[in-house]
Every structure is written in C-alpha cells, then in structure tokens.
Amino acid sequence: MTPPLLAIGRDPLALDGIAAAVAASTGTDASTSSGQAPDGRDGAVVTFLGLVRNHNLGRSVRYLEYEAYEPMALKAFERIASEIGARWPSARLALHHRIGKLLVGEASIAIATRSPHRGDAYAACRYAIERVKQIAPIWKHEFFDGGEVWIEGATANPDDQQARAEAERIACA
C-alpha cells in the first residue's frame, strides 16, 4: 500500500517511507496522489528528516513529547501543499509528522518533494518545514536534565502574509 502524502501519527518515520510516498504521487496538484507510477517528468527528489537533538538552549535534552490537534494539523499540511502548488506548480509534496514520545535521534518530521528540476524541489522542501513551524498546531514538550518545558515558537496565523513571505524568502535563499 502506498503511504499517504500527508500524515500525522505515532509510527516511527524514515526516509524510505516518505520517499515512497512522494514517488507514487502524480497529478498536477502538490497534494494529489493517484497511486500511479511516476510519469518520468521529474528529475529531482529532495528529502528532509527532522531529528530530536540532545541539546537545546544549553539544556541536555532527554526526550520530547509531541502533541498535536491532529485533524487541524492535517488541514495545515493540506494548506502548505496548496501553497507549494501555487508557488512551485510542478512540485509535489509528501509530509509526515510524528507525535508522542520521541527519543534523541528519532525523526519527528519527514518531508519529500519532487519536481522536474532540483531548484524547485529544494525550495519547496525548505518552505514546507518553515511553514510547519509557523502554522501547524503541534507542540514540543521538552524533558531535559533538571526539568521540563513546553516549547512555544510562532503564534500560528495562516493568513499572516509576512510570515508566509519570510518562509518563501528562506526557501529561496
């Protein structure tokens, strides 16, 4: 069975899973998958794994617990796919996020993009991770030597055009 293009769940993530998901994606929309074999037009696949680090802001991290508002997180991923479809029409996206307890070294997010040329695949992949950090309703609870803390990053607002432009600027840098 082909893995879904967009997913959030407790199963471990790995590069082969996300690569298989994006390899099976066809169609004109970044989030569309028909499960058919690739048509040969794409010359690039870029993959990204985000891993749990053993240090953060001077703290020795023991593990993270990820929490999400799952149905809304999936909608955020769909929105990101749609934004990528608008900005890089030939790029396709697969994005899986893990929740629950993750040990140091485990992957919390896996992203794969493909496109006819490498530039768009690299840019779309970077854009996807930047947008996840901006608008996906997901939270890290960090457990470190001596305590625990909820990590609070961006105030999520998908309509904030300045944030979106910043993600695009980073993606195309």
Partner 1 sequence: MRVTVRLFARLRDITGASELARDVAPGATIGDVWRQLAGEFPELASYERSLSSAINADYARMDQVIGDGDEIAFLPPVSGG
Q: Which of 2, 15, 3 is nearest to 109 (CA)?
A: 15
Contact, 90 vs 35, CB < 8 A?
no
Whole-angstrom distance, CA of residue 73 vs CA of residue 63: 22
Q: Are strands 6-9 and 92-98 parallel, antiparallel or unpaired?
A: parallel
Q: Select 17 or 137, whichever has its Cβ closest to partner 1.
A: 137
Residue 39 in the binding site for partner 1 (CB under 8 A):
no
Interface residue with partner 1, options 60, 153, 166, 169 (CB under 8 A): 153
Whole-angstrom distance, CA of residue 104 vs CA of residue 61: 8
Q: Select 68 or 112, whichever has its Cβ closest to partner 1.
A: 68
Residue 154 Cβ, how far from partner 1 at the closest point, in Å?
6
Residue 75 in the binding site for partner 1 (CB under 8 A):
yes
Residue 136 Cβ, how far from partner 1 at the closest point, in Å?
4
Residue 121 in the binding site for partner 1 (CB under 8 A):
no
Tell me the three state secondary structure of residue 150. strand
Interface residue with partner 1, options 30, 61, 138, 163 (CB under 8 A): 138
Residue 16 Cβ, how far from partner 1 at the closest point, in Å?
21
Q: Which of 50, 145, 152, 141 is nearest to 101 (CA)?
A: 141
Q: Select 38 or 158, whichever has its Cβ closest to partner 1.
A: 158
Sign, CA dihedral 71-101-134-14, equals negative
Q: Select 12 or 116, whichever has its Cβ closest to partner 1.
A: 12
Q: Residues in the site for partner 1, rule: CB under 8 A?
A: 50, 66-69, 71-73, 75, 97, 108-109, 129, 132-141, 150-159
